[in-house]
């Protein structure tokens, strides 16, 4: 039986409650078997904050995945050096997991950007895209995708990093186990 797997890529610097809601809503609404969280190494479309190491971002994602049996950590992009292109990741995963069909979760900010993705014509033949609507962003795209509405939440990793750098508390913006780990490790200027 073919497993239906959603691939959820991002810098996750740090992963937050909005990411969890997106992953869980897509899992249920699209009737996926699993969502694989894939922290990117060097995303081609933006710069990493360099606030924490790849290992720290991986640990935070692993903590989230411990809380939901349908969430799984996938370190494939961190194992590869250089820029992370989704098409390379998907091709590798399809070779490794012949019993799986893959969908790729994208936020509303990425839907209109799809035509600029590396080797997009090849990629759209390999995966189904699931686009999560995001306020302020167009959902118009020349490529087909499944649109999923999720509860809107104005939370972002950059906002969380900014709050932490200013000594503010971000409890409830990140899962409790991630918040506890950030403080224990002194990440993002916490102590």
CATH number at residue 14: 3.40.50.620
Question: Residue 84: its pLDDT value, please?
Answer: 81
Does position 137 have pLDDT exceeding 60, yes or no?
yes
Residue 9, strand partner residues: 38
Q: What residues make up the domain containing 138?
A: 3-153
In a domain, 164, yes or no: no
In a domain, 64, yes or no: yes
Question: Residue 153: its pLDDT value, please?
Answer: 81
pTM of the shown model: 0.92
In a domain, 39, yes or no: yes
Among 95-104, 114-123, 129-138, 178-187, the minimum mean pLDDT is found in 129-138
Give Cβ neighbours of residue 121 (< 8 Å, ≥ 6 apart): none
Question: Residue 101: its pLDDT value, please?
Answer: 97
Domain count along the chain: 1
Q: In 19-81, where do the E strands start and end?
A: 34-39, 71-73
Give, to the nearest 10 degrees, the angle between helix 54-66 and helix 176-185: 150
In a domain, 172, yes or no: no
- 88 HSE (CA, 13 A, CB side): 14
In a domain, 103, yes or no: yes
In a domain, 36, yes or no: yes
Does position 49 have pLDDT exceeding 60, yes or no?
no
Question: Residue 136: its pLDDT value, please?
Answer: 76
For 19-46, the pLDDT digits (tens) are 999 999 999 999 999 999 999 986 665 5
In a domain, 139, yes or no: yes
Give Cβ neighbours of residue 124 (< 8 Å, ≥ 6 apart): 143, 144
In a domain, 59, yes or no: yes
User: Is cis: bond before 14, omega within 30 of 0?
Assistant: yes
Does position 180 have pLDDT exceeding 90, yes or no?
yes
Query: Which range scores top for mean pLDDT: 45-59, 89-103, 143-157?
Result: 89-103
């Amino acid at each position: 039986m073919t497993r239906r797997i959603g691939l959820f890529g991002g810098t996750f610097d740090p992963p937050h409650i909005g990411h969890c809601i997106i992953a869980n809503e897509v899992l249920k609404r699209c009737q996926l078997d699993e969502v694989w969280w894939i922290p990117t190494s060097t995303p081609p479309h933006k710069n990493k904050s360099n606030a924490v190491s790849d290992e720290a971002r991986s640990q935070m994602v692993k903590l989230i995945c411990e809380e939901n049996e349908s969430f799984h950590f996938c370190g494939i992009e961190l194992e590869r050096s250089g820029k992370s292109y989704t098409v390379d990741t998907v091709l590798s995963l399809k070779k490794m997991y012949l019993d799986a069909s893959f969908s790729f979760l994208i936020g509303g900010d990425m839907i209109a950007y799809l035509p600029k993705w590396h080797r997009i014509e090849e990629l759209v033949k390999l995966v189904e895209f699931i686009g999560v609507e995001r306020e302020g962003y167009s959902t118009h795209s020349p490529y087909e995708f499944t649109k999923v509405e999720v509860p809107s939440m104005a939370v972002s990793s950059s906002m969380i990093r900014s709050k932490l750098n200013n000594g503010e508390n971000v409890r409830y913006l990140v899962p409790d186990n991630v918040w506890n780990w950030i403080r224990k490790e002194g990440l993002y200027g916490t102590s």
